[in-house]
Structure 1
Amino acid sequence: MHPLQLIEQTYHVHDKARQILVDHCRQVAELATAIARKLHAETEPVDLALVEEAAMLHDIGMLYTQTPKLGCFGTAPYMAHGVLGAELLAARGLHQHAMICERHIGVGLTARDIQAQDLPLPLRDMTPQTVEEQLVAYADLFFSKSHPQKKSPEQVRSSLARFGEEKVAIFDDWHQRFAW
């Protein structure tokens, strides 16, 4: 199934949320896919179709959150959108897409992060493991649903710093590997 078809089926009566989701995910998909093509051509194999499709679907779970400014009137906290989206995608047999969806929050969440911050998430490792997972998480860091302008690397570092230097270090590693 094409990502936009799945979004349309899921968000069919939620015009504001659908438009915000599609606009944001297109930005993330464009950046992630451009980097993936370069990596694939120069240094390492990347599943280009998976990156593009999963980038378009990485935030699909936001509909089920209580985030009125995004047109979402569900019951879950926004932090759970990755897990909720992963459940939706896995139920449709899109298991690799589901892992990308679950693991795209920031630079990823460890079970220790979830426990220490008492996050409303299952207690398990949710850090990007594959290059495809890392690419979508990396590209997502540069875009916000509420501010469509691309963030600078310095802005991304600043926003990650409140979660600890180890999160900034992960971003810096990705930035060295993926920036061009």
Structure 2
Amino acid sequence: METRRNLWFFSLCFSAVIGLGGPNMILTQPRFVRANQNGEASFVCGFNSTEIGEEFQVIVHKGHIIKNTEVCSASFTNHTMKPLEKKSLLHCLVWPSKENVSITIWGLNVTDTDLYICRISRMHPPPYKESTGRGTVIYVNRAASYSRDQEADAGFLLTAVLTVLATLLFLYSISITVVYCKHKMKDDTIYINVRK
């Protein structure tokens, strides 16, 4: 009898410990996204709205989570479902809704082609739950990495080169004209009036 009671107590405690965290949230995100010409990429992290709770946090990692390369992080409550914009080396905008979180990252260049992993943590009510997506590969091609700043720099450089070239041609034509006029004035021809 004592053994049965201990076994029953052990199974009750074990099931309580196993079920304490509850089932994990199911988090989905696309496998592949291509950045547009401006170096901007958007993807959606979807989740089960019944598991999210009143307060949650969204974190986007670049590469593997172990390296702790956090690109975006935002915290939301059910009362403040407003978009959050974070500006760092990469700019991002996190827009929550009832069943997903839309994430837009811009300022991407070719070296930012990588795996971006979405992680959502339920902060309140307890128990704390966390779910990590499988990751989205964001591909940035060479054309997208050619930013507007580089385009402006290239335009300025072209204007400067053309201005210098035009100035040199103008100075060359002036100097040729001056040399010609001086040579013409030094002409040794003598005018003789023959009508006398």
Query: Looking at CA atoms only, which structure, 1 or 2, has the larger radius of gyration?
Result: 2
- What is the TM-score normalised by the length of structure 2? 0.22
Q: Which has the higher contact order (CA 8 A, sep 6+)?
A: 2
| TM-score, structure 1 as length reference | 0.24
Q: Which has more strand, going by share of residues?
A: 2
Larger helix proportion of the pair: 1
